């Protein structure tokens, strides 16, 4: 009984940490324009729209976050093996991962922008200085929270995977949650405010991204303000629920039917979410779409 209570407590804590991680991850990638609007950021100077938006193309978010979280887990594991206190070990791992993230971010910005010299797009060093540090801070929060979730799974719940392998699984899940959930709430709506809502990006408007703002010329640091309200919390809820349900079903139902209980409950959770998703989709279509001709 006590084991189950501790398990549930850890499940709740891990879910909360994951929610923080998801929110920070999405804010990080949106400030750095790493998500899907990045192709438009890359395209804009070629269409004659020079801009001050950070062009951070390390890779898609899932592989990038797999790297940061896995290497933080690996370094944390190494420090644990060397007898360092767990919290310090996780912090050392996260600091190194954040350092690597910052280096990759700056090289991606400098490389891509320099390759656009033909179109007169300058490299803005003040953008590099201000935006990189802000994305690194958000990456630190996201990585630290996720590595802590992995550590809790390994030690308290006794997950059979080694720490770096848990890092690969949950880093990938974190990046996927931020990319799939966060971006639809942000990118196109913030970056394409020049376009009519719901218009998508017609070819004639390619590269016509938002470049001016109320306080001088915009750098994408302001996207954090927008994302923190919508995309971040959505990603946080998504990743938090993934971690919470994953642990909850395992801890409560693993003893039933020789382990199959947890599998069946997992399948049931998926079915319930499919029904909810379908309901939300139909509701949204009825209220907001389809995009018919105005009467």
Partner 1 sequence: MSVKVEASHDGIPHNKVMAIGAVISLVSLYIAIIGTVIGVDYLAFFGGIAAVGALIWGNSTIKKLCSYGIGTGVPSAGMLAFGSGLIALLFASALAGFSIWIVPVAALVIALIVGLFLGWISNSVLNMKIPVMTRSIAELAAVGALALMGLGVVATGTVSFTGIATIEILGVSVYNASYLGAGVIAVSFMLGAIALQHPFNACLGPGEKQDRTNMLAIECGFLSMIIMAVISFVFVSLAAAWISFVVAIIGWAVSYVKYVALSKRDAAAWLDAKPFSDKEE
Of the candidate residues 8, 16, 119, 159, the single one contacting partner 1 (CB under 8 A) = 119
Taking the least distance from each CB to partner 1, the nearer of 110 and 237 is 110
Taking the least distance from each CB to partner 1, the nearer of 173 and 228 is 173
Of the candidate residues 11, 18, 77, 89, the single one contacting partner 1 (CB under 8 A) = 77
Partners of 212 in beta bridges: 217
CB 70 within 8 A of CB 168: yes
Query: Residue 155 is encoded by which pair of tokens?
Result: 């030690």
**In which element (H, E) is residue 216 found?**
strand 216-217
CB 162 within 8 A of CB 41: no
Tell me, by CB under 8 A, how many residues bind partner 1: 55
CA atoms of 47 and 290, how far apart (whole Å): 30
Of the candidate residues 31, 139, 141, 168, the single one contacting partner 1 (CB under 8 A) = 168
x/- string (CB under 8 A) for partner 1, residues 87-106? ---------x---x--xx--
Tell me: does residue 50 bind partner 1 (CB under 8 A).
yes
CB 75 within 8 A of CB 97: yes
CB 251 within 8 A of CB 185: no
Say whether 212 sits in a helix, a strand or coil: strand
Of the candidate residues 28, 34, 41, 52, the single one contacting partner 1 (CB under 8 A) = 52
CB 135 within 8 A of CB 68: no
Tell me: does residue 73 bind partner 1 (CB under 8 A).
yes
Taking the least distance from each CB to partner 1, the nearer of 213 and 271 is 213
CB 190 within 8 A of CB 210: yes
- In the complex, the smallest distance separating the C-beta of residue 217 from partner 1, rounded to whole angstroms, is 6
- Triad 148, 153, 156: Cα angle to 5°: 100
Taking the least distance from each CB to partner 1, the nearer of 111 and 200 is 111
Taking the least distance from each CB to partner 1, the nearer of 125 and 275 is 125
Taking the least distance from each CB to partner 1, the nearer of 31 and 80 is 80
Tell me: does residue 259 bind partner 1 (CB under 8 A).
no
- In the complex, the smallest distance separating the C-beta of residue 73 from partner 1, rounded to whole angstroms, is 8
Of the candidate residues 111, 198, 200, 202, the single one contacting partner 1 (CB under 8 A) = 111
Tell me: does residue 167 bind partner 1 (CB under 8 A).
yes
Tell me: does residue 121 bind partner 1 (CB under 8 A).
yes
Torsion of CA 43, 46, 49, 54, to 10 degrees: 40
- In the complex, the smallest distance separating the C-beta of residue 65 from partner 1, rounded to whole angstroms, is 10
- R_g of the chain, CA atoms, integer Å: 21
Taking the least distance from each CB to partner 1, the nearer of 16 and 78 is 78
Query: Residue 1 is encoded by which pair of tokens?
Result: 């009984």
Residue 213 has what DSSP assignment?
A: E
Tell me: does residue 140 bind partner 1 (CB under 8 A).
no
- In the complex, the smallest distance separating the C-beta of residue 3 from partner 1, rounded to whole angstroms, is 23
CB 213 within 8 A of CB 222: yes
Residue 271 has what DSSP assignment?
A: H
CB 187 within 8 A of CB 232: no
For partner 1, the binding residues (CB under 8 A) are 42, 48-52, 57-60, 63-64, 66-67, 70-71, 73-75, 77-78, 81-82, 96, 100, 103-104, 107-108, 110-126, 161-165, 167-168, 216-217
């Amino acid at each position: 009984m006590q084991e189950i209570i501790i398990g549930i407590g850890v499940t709740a804590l891990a879910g909360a940490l994951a929610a923080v991680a998801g929110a920070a991850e999405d804010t990080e990638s949106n400030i750095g324009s790493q998500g899907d609007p990045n192709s438009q950021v890359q395209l804009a100077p070629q269409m004659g729209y020079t801009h001050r938006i950070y062009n951070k193309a390390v890779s898609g978010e899932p592989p990038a976050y797999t790297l940061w979280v896995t290497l933080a887990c690996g370094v944390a594991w190494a420090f644990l093996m060397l007898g360092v206190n767990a919290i310090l070990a996780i912090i050392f791992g996260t600091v190194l991962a954040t350092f690597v993230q910052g280096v990759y971010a700056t090289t991606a910005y400098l490389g891509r922008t320099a390759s656009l010299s033909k179109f007169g797009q300058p490299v803005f060093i003040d953008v590099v200085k201000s935006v990189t540090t802000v994305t690194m801070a958000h990456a630190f929060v996201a990585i630290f929270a996720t590595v802590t979730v992995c550590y809790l799974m390994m030690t308290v719940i006794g997950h059979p995977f080694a720490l770096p392998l848990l890092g690969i699984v949950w880093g990938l899940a974190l990046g996927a949650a931020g990319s799939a959930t966060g971006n639809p709430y942000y990118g196109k709506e913030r970056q394409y405010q020049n376009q009519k809502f719901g218009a998508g990006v017609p070819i004639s408007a390619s590269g016509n991204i938002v470049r001016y703002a109320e306080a001088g010329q915009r750098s994408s640091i302001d996207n954090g303000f927008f994302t923190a309200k919508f995309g971040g919390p959505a990603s946080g809820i998504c990743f938090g629920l993934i971690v919470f349900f994953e642990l909850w079903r395992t801890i409560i139902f693993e003893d039933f039917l020789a382990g199959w209980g947890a599998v069946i409950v997992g399948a049931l959770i998926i079915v319930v979410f499919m029904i909810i998703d379908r309901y939300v989709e139909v509701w949204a279509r009825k209220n907001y779409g389809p995009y018919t001709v105005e009467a």
